[in-house]
Structure 1
């Protein structure tokens, strides 16, 4: 197994490893160490079944089943499908998901440890891939903060909410959105520290995102929004960002504590995109 960096502050590619084969404990421990240290890990040329995707993901811990149940695979509900493909008049997955900076499931009490996504179909134009994903290191962004800003943020808590963003996205796409009270009640607002400690490395990370963070506890709305916007801009500076160009067979896993990510929607049918993702359960933020 060979490891090479993807970008200076974070990210790694693991080469010469077939995830369709059984992994011994030593090899898996090496993968997990690279994941914890580098935050984003790429495996090229993978050909894995849905069952194998779930099996590999479970080596890292329990898996989430996404709140949007209509976009999970019935036979493997741990797999969340992202796609613009329509079959028999129905979408096979969620379209245009995550085209804003966010971290998966920050709106839950115990947010996701990480996500593992596999590229099945990648859109192209003139032979070049479309639908890139951008990743930003919130650990590197924290390290780059001025000491007075670190002191200011320590102890502050932010409010995270799911449905606001989802409803805005669906309406912008021209879809009717009806969210039952039961579904809303299943994802109430949650509060997390703005500066969190990585549960596996002890690193400090900035834990806010423009997708789901809506305010700061105890701070007037305008002041809180201003500080959040400042942090959003800081975390996504070019020096903290890696842009991934997908190829069919890519499997990418990312750390939802130490990174943000954003989809690039620069394609449309007949350019087809089909991705599937598992989501690792996490722990309470501290």
Structure 2
């Protein structure tokens, strides 16, 4: 009763923080804008500097592949509304990609500077504990493929095929088709719009602004089918790695995995094509909630309540 718990799921593109005392979830982009090494703005306010012509202002995404690459203190101060009451000691539960003393120490150092009373860690694998649980967590900068048996991790593999790689491919596709360079922020929005339109069986015309060879912004337009190969190539790699990981198991275990199905979580889980591809290639049930981007946070909340 004397602790105020915050649950943190920090991703390469977005951070989610749940404040138990307020029963409130906030989420914001993992981006910081700097000018001469001084913080200008964070989260959505920082995205405007992606298009800023002032070269002295730089933007950074401090998380990648489950690791802290640069200072995250501005984001933590923005997201953690820590009220300094004697009877409410701030505590945090943080989800990590895997057990890493180096990463844990980074988080502990930031927490100490913020005045956090207690820090606990949990991994994605810790949250996937069932009798036989084959899972694929699809983030922005990585995909995690793992298997738990009777609550114990059998194997885990991190592959560099996820949302970020789709965005990179979209940037190159738009450049090739329109001779204009778009930002990764625009590529992400085009990816989401493309997926939504294809889910509706439509080949929509998608537009954004790109910079031409004269350093001028102009409106560019592509179709969903223009971008579909960017998504498909990454999904095929995920399926290929999934099949390879399953093939390393005994035949008996393979049968049990395919009988129980594969659990998908993460922001890319509902992307067009992935679930049907997996189901067709592996001939097994594909288990996915309507909001897989919140699955990790929801499982962390359940674990806190146990």
TM-score class, shorter-chain normalisation, is under 0.3
Q: Give the TM-score, by structure 2 length.
A: 0.26
Q: Which has the larger radius of gyration?
A: 2
Structure with bigger helix share is 2
TM-score scaled to structure 1, two decimals? 0.27
Of structures 1 and 2, the one with the larger relative CO (CA 8 A, separation 6+) is 1
